[in-house]
Each structure stands twice: as structure tokens, then as C-alpha cells.
Amino acid sequence: MTNGRIPVPGPSGGLSNLQTRVLSAAVLIAVVLPLTWYGGVPFRLLCAVIGGAMLYEWLHMSPDLARNHKLVLAAMLVVVLLLLIVAAPAHIVLATLAAAVVAAVVLGRVRGAGGEAALGLGYAGFSAVSLALLRDDDRQGLLAILFLFAVVWATDICAYFVGRAIGGPKLAPAISPGKTWSGAIGGAAGGIAAGMAVAWYAGFADFAAVLVCLVLSVVGQVGDLFESSIKRRHGTKDSSNLIPGHGGVLDRVDALVAAAFAFYVIGALSGGLDQPAHGLVPV
């Protein structure tokens, strides 16, 4: 935390935490945006990597889970992700994932492991599937995913700076003591503004788009709190150390994947399972 001061190198001359975070974020953006723009197999591979990393970190935070149980869960996710990569029809991918989650619940009950591992499998799997199916391979999919990125990233940035500048009552002190109501409201306002800028460019800037921006911003913030609650339950600060300065993949995509799932459901209800973006971006 810099408390508004300009970050300077520590005594050892290394990068400060904020500088490390900025550098890592720049590298991630340089990788993610070109793959998002290209779409197709490269983007589906990216989604599969995200889903795999999410499950790895989730299981890593569950040390009591037997190793062979973790391997079974990983194998089930691999099957789902392979179907996703080869662009199997959405109903097949979703049905396979649902069956895997049910099997994981049954396995957990048989082995007395509870349902948290199955929850992690569903969380990782639906996150990867939602992102990939939203992007699809056409212009509407690209606009839909850029709209999602704009809302979630602006929400995150504005919530951080507004919360630090204004402070005030805590949003969920038992889960994430640093978050405030002012930050949540500021984040939602920023998310709506950024999302509507993309919507205006794409030609669907109407009142419905404002409501979707608000829903995605709120769901994203809830997703952030959900991941924080899981970490608190396991007594860990970060889900892993995979991303320097940011912790783990779960720490970086918690808001994005929650909003992606909500966005996919909205699009699927209006545009269909296979082409949800067609119900979201009417161009």
C-alpha cells in the first residue's frame, strides 16, 4: 500500500509492490488483449489455461483433500476444457461440465470430503466456458467481451481509488476489511461509464445496456468478495504466487469470471447457448 505517496525502490533497490503489480498487469494485458482480439483457438486456449489455473489454486488451498481426489477432479476438468478448445457445441460442453460437477459431489460424499472441491470444479469450469462462449469467433463476440472487460476493469480501478479517497463504512468487514461502500458505489459508476463507452461505439447504448453494466459491476464485486471469503476460510492471503505482485490467478480474475458467467446467462437467454453475444450486441 502506498497511501498516496510515490512508490520508491526498497532498501535493496528492488521494485516496490505497486511497481511490481503495474509491471505484471502490463504483461498480462499485452498477452490477453491480442488473444482476445484474435479469438478462435488461441482465445479458447487462454480460457482453458485460466480455468486450469483456477482449479489448481483452489485445490492448493485445500490441503486436507487427498491427492488422488485432486487428480480425479483435474482429469474431469481437462475433459471439459478439451471439448471447449475443439469448439464442441455449447450444450455438450455445459452438459459434460454439469455431469462432472455432479460426479464430484457424489465422490466428495463417498470420501467424506464435503462439497467444496466440487464447488471449485464448477467455479473453474463455468468460468472458462463462459469466457470462451461469450467471445465466440465473430465481431459481436469481440464487442461483447470488450464490453465485459471495460465494465469489470473500470469497476476494479474506480472502486480502489474512490474507496481510498473517500473511505467511510466498510462493505463487508468480516470478509474483506479494506472494501468500503464508497468504493463499491464509485466502482459501479466507473463500470457503467466505461461499459457505456463501448456500447456507444458498438451502437447499442440504450437503457438496457446501462442496466447490464450495473448488473455486471455488482456481480463482479460480489465475485471478488466470494473469492476473499474462500481465502479467509483457508487462512491465506493470496490464492498462489503465480502472478508477481498480484498473488494468484483467482485473485486477478475473481470479478471477471463472476461477471462473465452472469453476462453469458443473460446472452444465452436472448441469443442462445452457442451464440450468446448475438443477444447482447445487436449489430
pLDDT digit string, tens, across residues 52-106: 999 999 998 887 788 888 999 999 999 999 999 999 999 999 999 999 999 999 9
Q: CB neighbours of 278 closer than 8 A, spacing ≥ 6? A: 140, 267, 271, 272
pLDDT digit string, tens, across residues 193-252: 999 999 999 999 899 999 999 999 999 999 999 999 998 888 887 777 776 656 788 888
Measure the CA–CA gap between 153 and 118, rounded to whole angstroms: 28
- Per the confidence metrics, is the pTM higher than 0.85? yes
Domain residue extents for the chain: 17-279
Q: How far is CA 52 from the centre of its chain?
A: 13
Output 175 or 248, whichever has higher pLDDT. 175
pLDDT digit string, tens, across residues 91-144: 999 999 999 999 999 998 888 777 888 999 999 999 999 999 999 888 999 999
Residue 243 has phi, psi (to 5 degrees) of -115, 110
Residue with grid cell 455488482, as numbered in its chain = 218
C-alpha cell at 129: 466456458
Measure the CA–CA gap between 28 and 239, rounded to whole angstroms: 17
Cα angle vertex 130, ends 126, 131, to 5°?
125
